[in-house]
Amino acid sequence: MFGALARWRRRRVLQRVAIPDALWRDALASLPFLAVYTADELARLREKVVLFLDAKGIVGARGHEVTPLQRAIIAIQACVLVLELDLGYYAGFENVIVYPGEFVPDWEWEDEAGVVHRNDAPLAGEAMPGGPVALSWPDVAAGADWAATGMNLVIHEFAHKIDMRDGEANGCPPLPSRMPRAVWKKALTAAYDDFVARIDRGEDTEIDPYAAENPAEFFAVLSEVFFADPLLLRHEYPDVYGQFAAFYRQDPAPRAERLLAE
């Protein structure tokens, strides 16, 4: 019964909330890393984006007005991570907040000793457990072109959201039963330790050194690399690539290879 109702609701949303063709084309054109996807996958991605936009608000803050193209560019990248997963990974929050630039979060938190902290360093993006995703639009725009910046802010913050589905971000999202947690931990920990050692040695890495910050940032940064530069991740950390391919149920590297050969 529930399944039938869910399917009916899904059909109704897809009919009611459509993305105009021209807007869809413009949004795809600004995200070159999507070139690895087939027409069929892009059609499914478009459906997922429609369902995402029905469920979430993408709202401007501090005077920023979100254009339809900006809304589409953010939603598409958020949905790339869950193209083959349930949108339920993004349950538990309602809004994506878009700022006109870097922002200082206006929340406080209390540590175990009862001391109240405030973060007063400006941020490009932030994902809060149980709260919204916040993004600086100029940083979203810069991250759309991976070749130029080597970063993708939207994928980064939504990877944190997926990680947080089972509590605090710790670099291990809730894994499906077909994936043993020990195998994930072994691959990720070995890669993380290696990466931290490389950064400590002062090595110049193609992967953003910010990944050495902690295991949660490692997962978020490597998720960016998995989607936007899959050959780099498969080359540097093949075991992590394998775990990500199993988790996200996508295998973008062979496609990127074929594209390069064309």
Q: Which residue's beta carbon is nearest to the bound Zn ion?
A: 220
Minimum CB distance to Zn ion smaller for 24 or for 210: 210
Residue-level length of the chain = 262
Minimum CB distance to Zn ion smaller for 217 or for 236: 217
Smallest distance, Å, CB 121 to Zn ion?
13
Question: Footprint of Zn ion on this chain (CB under 5 A)?
Answer: 217, 220
Minimum CB distance to Zn ion smaller for 50 or for 77: 77
Minimum CB distance to Zn ion smaller for 125 or for 252: 125
Alpha-carbon span 259 to 230, nearest angstrom: 12
Q: DSSP 3-state assignment of 125?
A: strand
Pair of tokens at residue 60 = 């401007």
Smallest distance, Å, CB 233 to Zn ion?
17
Q: Which of 30, 42, 23 has its CA nearest to residue 255?
A: 42
Q: How far apart are the first and last CA of the chain?
A: 48
Smallest distance, Å, CB 184 to Zn ion?
19
**Burial (Cβ within 10 Å: 0-12, 13-18, ≥19) of residue 258:** exposed
Smallest distance, Å, CB 22 to Zn ion?
33
